[in-house]
Amino acid sequence: MNIILVAGANAKARTLTLDWRHWAAGGAALFVLFLAFTFAFNFVTLKWAAAMQHPWLSAIVLADQRAEAARVQERVQGHLNAMAVRLGELQARMLRLDGLGERLAKSAGLSPQELPSLQAGTAPGRGGAESSLPSRNLSVQEFADLVDRLARQMETRGDQLSVLEALLVHDSTNRKFMPSLYPIVDGWFSSNYGYRIDPFTGQHSMHEGIDFPAESGTPIVAAASGKVVFAEWHPAYGKMIEIDHGNGLLSRYAHASLLLVKEGDLVVRGQRVATVGSTGRSTGPHLHFEVRLNGVPQNPARFLQSPNLS
């Protein structure tokens, strides 16, 4: 585009040629002026609306604020929903840990009253002076990280308690095969393990068991679970039962009047296996009770759960 400029009638005409560069520069300048005018108008309008509290402009500003608040609320609600799911998982794991704790307490012979942490609605006390350092609120991400860390710790504790429970159950099972139950309920002993004066010869001789005097027919129970490996007459012990408890441990019940089990039977702890008598080498009705480990006589007092035997 050519533009001819004439200053007067006798003046020389001047020609101005506009190409694409001039048009681009002019368009850019107009765009910048438009943006500046728009920002200035919005600034003046908002300042004037804030000062004059014009209802129409205030409604526009309030609508924008509400829209932004709704978006923020939606994001916060999403985080809260995620945290609620995590807290639900933690509550389930806490119930699992509570159940494990109760079972472990029972396995250890403790009652929930002896462990306040197992009682519902209780929490360990905490306290301390307020810090002199400045405090701040946790961010959503920091709170989420703390919840995740707590979840990992609870999972680790749960695995540890599960292993401990398995060990306690195994130990409890082993105790069932340990001859620690009194073979005569509420019985007492008249002759302990060790050297004594033999009632038949009057000599100083070894007594390899414990004698429980009782009336004939008094029930004799298995001191532990196991398998009957002997149930018949013995020249010295009379009617006798031997129960194998595994790992080389064996219990012997002698001088019975009646045998209630036979060889090969499986018996459980506390089961009636015979009745008291005076068969064999005996001076009167009583139970001669022995415990042997790999064939070697042991002091039954080390196994029996009684404070009177030592």
Ranges 16-20, 120-124, 283-287: which has the least confidence: 120-124
Give the closest residue to 276 by CA, choosing from 253, 309, 310: 253
Residues sharing a CB contact under 8 Å with residue 229, sequence separation 6 or more, in sequence order: 242, 243, 244, 250, 263
What mean pLDDT do residues 250-255 have?
Answer: 96
Q: How many CA atoms lie within 13 A of 149 on its CB side?
A: 6
Cα 91 off chain centre by: 12
- Token pair in block for residue 203: 């000599």
| 3-class DSSP string for 54-112 | CHHHHHHHHHHHHHHHHHHHHHHHHHHHHHHHHHHHHHHHHHHHHHHHHHHHHHCCCCH
Q: What is the mean pLDDT of the chain?
A: 78
Q: Is the pLDDT of residue 246 over 70?
A: yes
Question: CA dihedral in degrees (264, 270, 271, 272; nearest 10)?
Answer: 110
Q: Answer yes or no: is pLDDT of 78 > 60.
A: yes
What pLDDT is recorded for position 58? 63
Say yes or no to pLDDT of 59 above 90: no
Q: Are 285 and 211 in contact (CB under 8 A)?
A: no
Q: What is the C-alpha separation between 20 and 6, in angstroms, rounded?
A: 24
Question: pLDDT tens across 156-173, in order?
Answer: 777 666 666 665 655 665
Structure-model confidence comparison of residues 247 and 125, the more confident one? 247
Of all residues in the chain, the percent with pLDDT exceeding 70 is: 67
Q: Rounded to an integer, what distance in angstroms lies between the CA atom of residue 154 and that of residue 142?
A: 18
Q: If you average pLDDT over residues 180-196, what whole number do you get?
A: 87
Task: Specify the residue for token string 């048009």.
Answer: 23
Tell me which range, 104-118, 150-164, 235-249, is most confidently predicted by mean pLDDT.
235-249
Mean pLDDT, range 265-285, rounded to an integer: 94
**Cα gap 66→43, rounded to integer Å:** 20
**With contact defined as beta carbons under 8 Å apart, do 254 and 234 qualify?**
yes
Q: Give the model's pLDDT for residue 275.
A: 96
pLDDT at 309: 42
Q: Give the start-end residues of each E strand in the chain.
A: 2-5, 14-17, 194-197, 204-207, 210-213, 219-221, 226-234, 238-246, 249-259, 266-267, 272-276, 286-293, 296-298
pLDDT at position 2, please? 57
Mean pLDDT score, 117-134:
62
What confidence tens digit (pLDDT) does each residue in 27-50 have?
888 888 888 888 777 766 666 655
Alpha-carbon gap, residue 224 to 270, rounded angstroms = 7
pTM over 0.85: no
Q: 244 in helix, strand or coil?
A: strand
Q: What is the pLDDT of residues 84-96, one digit of tens each?
A: 677 767 767 777 7
Two structure tokens written together for 75: 């994001």
